[in-house]
């Protein structure tokens, strides 16, 4: 087979090729609203934030000390941290893998589109997967030690594991939670493994496990304290609102289809589909072993461990996708342990390995297509989430502000326009709470706007958001309760490479702001 005869020089070529493609994408990628929003986090450091925990802000802030503040710096930061995720995942269970399995794992990781997505677009998933992979490595040390391939008996590494490893893995799990609330599945999966593994179950009743719990609680305490101080607003946003939508329980097959299509694209079929098969087979084998009263050997313990870090997230969100739109990044943490378990089963069954050869070529085509999209954008994306034209908007906004002699700038297009303008402009740009609308983190940072009373403003909105407003009112009617006069003064049209209109923005001159209108509503 292709990968069995793959020489070190050829493997290095594949590694360098995909790493180079990923880095070129990093250099070509312009600023996206997500980049700008989390950069705004990093310029306003806090214990936590409205819609996410703070680790992504700390990550950006730390690397900005060395790389500065720019679009390139943001994406190079993503590239470096994601490279750390690849490294930790690769070495986490390498002692339990054969040479061919190690080759497969490296290729599976580097060719995966989700790795490239993490490298070019700033999200909380970047530190989440970094600490998730680091935790897998530390868990391996405390549970299995250095590891012996095809060992017939356990090393009982848990007896020898130093206490500080338990402390570090507790902190690492806590930092994963501090990256994204999905990180709670990390310690939960660990506890699940301890419950299922007869060999390791006794660890639940040791002082080292209590140390692990203490370290985890210590690491997440800033997020807990912040939520207590802010009436649990972040927890409510991420859970209560979505739970109410889920409670309606309406079967939506298009959500299920969309979930599978997006996952097949970002993970590619071998990883995504074999994760279901491999984790199901491991858990089913565990159930059978309970009835037959057989102990699980060391390599099966590793497989059980990996399945415990795949199955909860994978099966819960797969089931949820029947009634709710599951975003493409929600199950990304499963891809790490999933990659390891999949290569074990690919080689164990002797099937599917040849498919990886063709999948690698498909991934190469997808990466080249991404570069084409970043340079020429042949496929038009009808969304304000695109990465193109924001610097032109910032320049135009500054020009309009000078011409109208306004005091402040605000936008009401979710967080997107406000975040981007905050990135490019020296002054602070406000969010939708200026007109009593939902404004994400901007509302928490600017709860009292009384100091803007009687000031003039420039209101910036995109054409797509303008069309949403026109469904129920006009922009003038929307703004008039808060300003004495509202007047459209300018617009900006951005054209693509074909000369077609791609984006349009409107600028309104708003005079004499009245924050009392918010209090009276």
In a domain, 253, yes or no: no
What is the rounded distance in angstroms from the CA atom of residue 270 to the CA atom of residue 279?
14
Which of 38, 198, 121, 129 is closest to 336 using CA atoms? 129
Residues 54 and 116 in one domain: yes
Asked if the model's pLDDT at residue 102 lies above 50, the reply is: yes
Digit-coded pLDDT (tens) for 235-275: 988 876 666 666 667 788 999 999 999 999 999 999 999 99
Residues 411 and 488 in one domain: yes
What per-residue confidence (pLDDT) applies to 205?
A: 95
Total domains in the chain come to 2
What per-residue confidence (pLDDT) applies to 290?
A: 79
DSSP 3-state of 400: helix
End residue of a domain, out of 347, 376, 405: 376
Residues 355 and 411 in one domain: no
In a domain, 20, yes or no: yes
Residues 59 and 140 in one domain: yes
pLDDT band at 358 (very low <50, low <70, confident <90, very high): confident
Name the pairing type of β-strands 429-430 and 483-495: unpaired
Distances (CA, A) of 520 to 212, 456, 473, 485: 50, 20, 20, 19
Residues 43 and 179 in one domain: yes
End residue of a domain, out of 318, 349, 376: 376
What is the rounded distance in angstroms from the CA atom of residue 251 to the CA atom of residue 247?
11
Digit-coded pLDDT (tens) for 410-428: 999 889 999 999 999 999 9
What per-residue confidence (pLDDT) applies to 151?
A: 46
Percent of the chain past pLDDT 90, that is, above it, reads: 77
Digit-coded pLDDT (tens) for 278-313: 999 999 888 888 776 554 444 478 999 999 999 999
Between 198 and 507, where is the model more confident? 507
In a domain, 254, yes or no: no
End residue of a domain, out of 376, 402, 436: 376
Residues 418 and 332 in one domain: no
What per-residue confidence (pLDDT) applies to 152?
A: 41
In a domain, 394, yes or no: yes
Classify residue 131 as exposed, middle or buried by CB count within 10 Å of its CB (0-12, 13-18, 19+): buried
What per-residue confidence (pLDDT) applies to 243?
A: 67
In a domain, 257, yes or no: no
Residues 69 and 150 in one domain: yes
What per-residue confidence (pLDDT) applies to 352?
A: 61
What per-residue confidence (pLDDT) applies to 520?
A: 54
Sheet with 457-462: strands ordered across: 429-430, 408-411, 457-462, 501-513, 483-495
Write out the H or E segment, with its range, that includes residue 456: none
What per-residue confidence (pLDDT) applies to 355?
A: 79
pLDDT band at 473 (very low <50, low <70, confident <90, very high): very high
Between 238 and 519, where is the model more confident? 238
What per-residue confidence (pLDDT) applies to 105?
A: 95
Average confidence score pLDDT of the chain: 90
Digit-coded pLDDT (tens) for 104-122: 999 999 999 999 999 999 9
- The average pLDDT across 173-182 equals 98
Digit-coded pLDDT (tens) for 362-380: 999 999 999 999 998 888 8
In a domain, 270, yes or no: yes
Residues 238 and 327 in one domain: yes
- The average pLDDT across 385-393 equals 92
Residues 327 and 233 in one domain: yes
Residues 14 and 87 in one domain: yes
Digit-coded pLDDT (tens) for 200-234: 999 999 999 999 999 999 999 999 999 999 999 99
Give the domain extent around 416. Answer: 390-520
- Least trusted range by pLDDT, from 4-18, 72-86, 365-379: 4-18
In a domain, 1, yes or no: no
Residues 370 and 394 in one domain: no
Residues 487 and 358 in one domain: no
Asked if the model's pLDDT at residue 160 lies above 80, the reply is: no
What per-residue confidence (pLDDT) applies to 234?
A: 93
Q: Is the dihedral of CA 410, 411, 415, 421 positive or negative?
A: negative
In a domain, 382, yes or no: no
What per-residue confidence (pLDDT) applies to 49?
A: 97
442 phi and psi angles, rounded to 5 deg: -60, -35
């Amino acid at each position: 087979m292709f990968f069995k005869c793959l020489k070190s020089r050829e493997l290095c070529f594949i590694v360098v090729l995909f790493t180079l493609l990923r880095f070129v994408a990093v250099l070509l990628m312009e600023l996206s609203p997500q980049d700008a929003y989390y950069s705004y986090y990093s310029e306003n450091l806090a214990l936590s934030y409205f819609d996410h925990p703070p680790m992504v802000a700390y990550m950006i802030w730390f690397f900005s000390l060395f790389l500065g503040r720019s679009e390139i710096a943001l994406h190079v930061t993503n590239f470096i941290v994601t490279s750390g995720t690849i490294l930790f995942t690769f070495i986490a269970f390498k002692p339990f893998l054969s040479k061919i399995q190690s080759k497969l794992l490296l290729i599976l990781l580097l060719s995966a589109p989700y790795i490239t997505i993490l490298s070019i677009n700033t999200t909380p998933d970047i530190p989440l997967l970094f600490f998730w992979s680091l935790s897998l490595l530390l868990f391996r040390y405390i549970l299995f030690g250095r590891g012996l391939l095809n060992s017939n008996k356990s090393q009982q590494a848990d007896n020898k594991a130093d206490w500080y490893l338990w402390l570090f893995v507790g902190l690492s799990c806590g930092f994963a939670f501090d990256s994204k609330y999905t990180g709670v599945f990390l310690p939960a999966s660990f506890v699940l493994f301890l419950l299922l593994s007869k060999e390791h179950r006794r660890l639940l009743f040791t002082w080292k496990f209590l140390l692990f719990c203490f370290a985890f609680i210590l690491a997440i305490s800033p997020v807990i304290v912040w939520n207590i101080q802010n009436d649990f607003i972040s927890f409510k946003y991420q859970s209560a609102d979505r739970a109410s939508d889920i409670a309606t329980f309406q079967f939506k097959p298009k959500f299920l289809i969309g979930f599978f299509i997006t996952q097949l694209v970002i993970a590619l079929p071998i990883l995504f589909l074999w994760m279901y098969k491999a984790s199901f087979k491991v858990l089913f084998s565990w159930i059978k072993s309970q009835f037959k009263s057989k102990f699980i050997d060391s390599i099966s313990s590793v497989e059980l461990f990996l399945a415990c870090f795949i199955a909860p997230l994978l099966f819960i969100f797969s089931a949820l996708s029947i009634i709710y739109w599951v975003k493409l990044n929600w199950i990304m943490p499963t891809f790490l342990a999933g990659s390891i378990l999949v290569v074990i089963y690919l080689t164990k069954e002797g099937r599917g390995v040849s498919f990886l050869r063709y999948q690698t070529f498909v991934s190469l085509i997808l990466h080249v297509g991404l570069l084409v999209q970043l340079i020429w954008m042949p496929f038009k994306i009808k969304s304000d989430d695109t990465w193109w034209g924001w610097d032109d908007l910032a320049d135009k906004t500054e020009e309009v502000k000078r011409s109208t002699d306004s005091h402040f700038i605000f936008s009401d297009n979710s967080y997107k326009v406000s975040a981007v303008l905050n990135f490019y402009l020296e002054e602070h740009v406000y969010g939708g709470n200026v007109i009593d609308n939902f404004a994400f983190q901007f509302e928490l940072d600017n709860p009292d706007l009384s100091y803007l009373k009687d000031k003039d403003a420039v209101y910036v909105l995109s054409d797509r958001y303008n069309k949403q407003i026109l469904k129920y009112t006009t922009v003038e009617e929307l703004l008039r309760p808060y300003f004495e006069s509202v007047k459209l003064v300018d617009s900006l049209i951005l054209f693509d490479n074909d000369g077609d209109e791609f984006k349009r923005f409107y600028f309104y001159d708003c005079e004499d702001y009245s924050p009392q209108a918010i209090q009276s509503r």
